[in-house]
Amino acid sequence: MKYIIRLIFLVSFVSYSQVGGESVYNFLNVPTSARQAALGGKVITLLDDVNQPLWNPSAINLEIDNQFAVNYLNFLTDISYASVSYAHMINRNFGTIHAGITYANFGEFIEADQDGVETGTFKAYDMALSVGYAYQLPFSNFSVGVNAKLINSVIQDYSSFGVVADVGLLYENDNRPYVFTLAVRNIGYQITTFDGTQEKVPLEVLFGASYRLENVPVRWYLTVDNLQKWNVAEPNPSNSTTDLDGTLTPEEISFFDNTMRHMVIGAEFFPEGLFNIRLGYNFRRAKELQLTDIRTFAGFSAGFGVQMRRLKLNYAFTQYHPAENTSTFSLQIDLSSRR
């Protein structure tokens, strides 16, 4: 039974490529917003999206006041994710508070004893509750934000509880076409463990930037992830070589290759229009999930958004493998009386 539990737990934290699966609560690093997913999965400079503060609290601003969003991700192997986000401005002096819930359902599993005899079924899920706030520094174009997250992870009769925080610093000038931000995500601690073994939380440092072209309706996005760990590359077994003697040589990863695996890029066409088209590319995902002699298009993502008065529907398609793709759906609702 203990073997089964450990196996399912392993699946839960490596289901998304995340620095070799070195930590617990990795569901926090799976994008549930369709807009973010379509732009490569790690964009942190979306200032008009109520889902963005779940990743970067410094993106909390007056523009997302009274915005409500629900998101659903049909992930790999029938794993499903859902999230809810809402922002409310207390007043113009205090600012805006953001709240969110993220839920990951890993489905139902067969339970068996050490002899392989089935004894029933069990379920596994992860959930996080988030509250965030951002403050614009006086007489500047900088905002600083903080999220606090309570996490509960359950696998059969085993459970774990944790607390993490996100901190972000963002620069935005209404007279400039660019935005810069730095976010430190998942700073925290696993308070209660599954089996007495303390595990690390998925700490990550990211830098993000976006640029709005002046005469072309396109906004570019760049994210540099995992700045807390330079060597993120893992050799892909599909790229191993075998000589005439049968000696297997693993893939050699160059300095440039490792550098590019920190990069995620995206482009949003007609960003201020009623209809948007989005493209993204995650370099590390592409390298780690590629197959020899088969074009998988891993790392590629695309999507669109449609604005219908107070409603906005976003969709994203993400390529992981020829046998498995994911779809993300988001519905954003404007609850304010501005429109």
Q: What is the pLDDT of residues 113-151, one digit of tens each?
A: 887 888 888 889 999 999 999 999 988 999 999 999 999
> What's 232's domain CATH number?
2.40.160
Check residues 7 and 209 and name the one with the higher pLDDT: 209
**Confidence at residue 16, expressed as pLDDT on a 0 to 100 scale:** 38
Contact by Cβ (8 Å): 188, 58: no
- Does residue 78 register a pLDDT over 90? no
Is residue 182 one of the residues assigned to a domain?
yes
**Confidence at residue 337, expressed as pLDDT on a 0 to 100 scale:** 67
The closest alpha carbon to 38, from 329, 323, 331, 272, belongs to 329
d(CA 69, CA 104): 17
Contact by Cβ (8 Å): 329, 72: yes
Average pLDDT of the chain? Answer: 88
| Residue 29 structural domain | 2-334
Is residue 142 one of the residues assigned to a domain?
yes
**Confidence at residue 21, expressed as pLDDT on a 0 to 100 scale:** 57
> Which residue has 């049968």 as its token pair?
246
- Does residue 153 register a pLDDT over 60? yes
Is residue 132 one of the residues assigned to a domain?
yes
* Average pLDDT of span 37-46: 96
- Does residue 195 register a pLDDT over 60? yes
Indicate the pLDDT class of residue 60, thresholds 50, 70 and 90: very high
**Confidence at residue 320, expressed as pLDDT on a 0 to 100 scale:** 80
Residues 11-32: pLDDT tens digits? 433 333 345 457 899 999 999 9
Please give the DSSP secondary-structure letter assigned to residue 137.
P
Is residue 321 one of the residues assigned to a domain?
yes
Give how far Cα 333 sits from Cα of 95, 101, 237, 250, Å: 20, 16, 45, 50
Contact by Cβ (8 Å): 235, 54: no
Residues 245-303: pLDDT tens digits? 767 777 788 889 999 999 999 999 999 899 999 999 999 988 888 776 677 788 899 99
Is residue 123 one of the residues assigned to a domain?
yes
Q: 308: which 2 tokens?
A: 């219908």
**Confidence at residue 338, expressed as pLDDT on a 0 to 100 scale:** 56
**Confidence at residue 208, expressed as pLDDT on a 0 to 100 scale:** 97
Is residue 27 one of the residues assigned to a domain?
yes
Is residue 339 one of the residues assigned to a domain?
no
Residues 236-256: pLDDT tens digits? 776 777 766 767 777 788 889
DSSP state letters, 79-100: -EEEEEEEEEEEETTTEEEEEE
Is residue 225 one of the residues assigned to a domain?
yes
**Confidence at residue 334, expressed as pLDDT on a 0 to 100 scale:** 94
d(CA 109, CA 8): 9
**Confidence at residue 3, expressed as pLDDT on a 0 to 100 scale:** 36
Contact by Cβ (8 Å): 191, 161: yes
**Count: domains in the chain:** 1
